[in-house]
Amino acid sequence: MKDYLVKALAYGGYVRAYAINATAVVAEAQRRHDTWNTASAALGRSLVGGLLLGATLKGDDKMTVKIQGDGPAGAIIVDSNGKGDIKGYIQNPHVSLPLNDKGKIDVRGAVGTNGVFTVIKDLGLKEPFSGQTPIVSGELGDDFTYYLAVSEQIPSAVGLSVLVDTDDSIKTAGGFMLQVMPGASDEVIDALEERLKHLPNVSSLLEEGKTPEDILEIIFDGEAIMILEDSPVQFNCECSKEKFATAIITLGTSEIQAMIDEDHGAEAVCSFCGEKYYFDEPELEALIQEITGEKE
Ligand SMILES: [Zn+2]
C-alpha cells in the first residue's frame, strides 16, 4: 500500500480531519539513518507529525519542526512542504531503551520531558512564522497537540504511531490530526474526546490493512464525513553535489587548500538524508579557481 494522506471534514465542517499512512516514509528514514528501535519510533512519530502539520501548507510553503528535548535522542528535525515532501533526522540514531511500564517503546525516555518544540513556517512572506512551546509529554503526539492549542490557538488532537519490528525495520507508521473550528459545540468536542479514548493505535489499524479513510471512519464512527482530497507523501531530500559545492566555496580558499593538502579530498554528508558526496583533489582545485577567478 502506498503512503498517502487524506483530508476530510466532519460534524458539518466544524472538525477538520487528517489521516495518514506514512509507513514507506518512516521506513526510508530508518534505513537512511540506521535508527535503532526507540530512535526509529521517535523520528518516525516526528515525521508523521511533520506531514500532518505540513498538510495545512500550500504548494511551495515550507515548514521545519524542531524538537529539542533533554533525552538521549538529542534534537529531532523534520522539514516538510505543501507538496507532501518530508525529510528529517535525529541527532543520535542509535538509541534503544527498554520498553516502558506499559510495554510500549519508550519514546518519552528517548526525547526527554524538558525542552522546546519549535515550528518555523516559510510561507513565502518577508518574515518566516515561528512558534515555540515547551515539551509537555515527550511522547510527541501530545506535544504536537499542545503546540497547536497554545501557539496556533487551534484545539486539536494529534495521534502519531509507529510499529517497529524486532529487526528495527518499520512495520507500519501513521497518524491522524483533528482540528476543531471556531463555533463547534461542546457536544461535538465531548463526543470526539470520548471516541479518541477508545481508538486503537493507528499503527495497529494499518497493520490490519486499514486505509487512512478507514481510520477516519473508525474515529467518527457513523458520523458523516466528507473526504476533500487524498494526496501522496514521500521522503524527499533536494540536496545535491552542486549545493554542497556552493557550501564548500563559502569556507574560503585556505580552508579548501587544507582539505587538499591534509585529506586529499573531502566528503560531505547530508544530515537530512544521509547521502554522501565526495570531492576529489581536482574538484576542490576547481572550487578554489571559482573563488579566485584564475584560469590555468
Ligand atoms: Zn539530503
What one-character DSSP code corresponds to residue 118?
A: E
- Predicted confidence (pLDDT) at residue 246 exceeds the cutoff of 90: yes
CA of 240 to the centre of ligand 1 (A): 7
Distance between CA 51 and CA 174 in Å, rounded?
A: 10
Mean local confidence (pLDDT), 206-215: 96
pLDDT score recorded for residue 147: 97
pLDDT score recorded for residue 38: 97
Mean local confidence (pLDDT), 186-210: 91
pLDDT grade, residue 221 (50/70/90)? confident
pLDDT score recorded for residue 59: 85
Q: Where are the domains of the chain?
A: 4-235, 241-292
Distance between CA 91 and CA 74 in Å, rounded?
A: 5
Distance between CA 160 and CA 32 in Å, rounded?
A: 21
CA of 29 to the centre of ligand 1 (A): 11
Query: What is the longest distance spanned by two Cα atoms in the chain?
Result: 77
- Predicted confidence (pLDDT) at residue 250 exceeds the cutoff of 80: yes
Distance between CA 88 and CA 23 in Å, rounded?
A: 15
CATH number, span 4-235? 3.55.30.10
pLDDT in tens, 168-193: 899 999 999 999 999 999 988 888 88
CA of 202 to the centre of ligand 1 (A): 29
CA of 244 to the centre of ligand 1 (A): 10
What share of the chain has pLDDT > 90, as a percent? 87
Write the DSSP assignment of 37-53 as a string of letters.
HHHHHHHHHHHHHHHHH
pLDDT grade, residue 294 (50/70/90)? low
**What is the residue-averaged pLDDT of the chain?**
95
pLDDT in tens, 275-288: 999 999 999 999 99
CA of 181 to the centre of ligand 1 (A): 37
CA of 59 to the centre of ligand 1 (A): 20
CA of 242 to the centre of ligand 1 (A): 12
CA of 87 to the centre of ligand 1 (A): 8
Q: Where are the beta strands (DSSP E) in the chain?
A: 4-10, 15-21, 59-69, 75-82, 85-90, 115-122, 129-134, 156-164, 170-180, 225-232, 234-235, 265-269, 276-280
Mean local confidence (pLDDT), 253-268: 95
> Which has more confidence, 233 or 188?
233
CA of 270 to the centre of ligand 1 (A): 5
CA of 219 to the centre of ligand 1 (A): 36
pLDDT in tens, 125-142: 889 999 999 999 999 999
What is the CATH superfamily name and number for domain 241-292? HSP33 redox switch-like (3.90.1280.10)
pLDDT in tens, 34-63: 999 999 999 999 999 999 999 999 988 999
CA of 278 to the centre of ligand 1 (A): 14
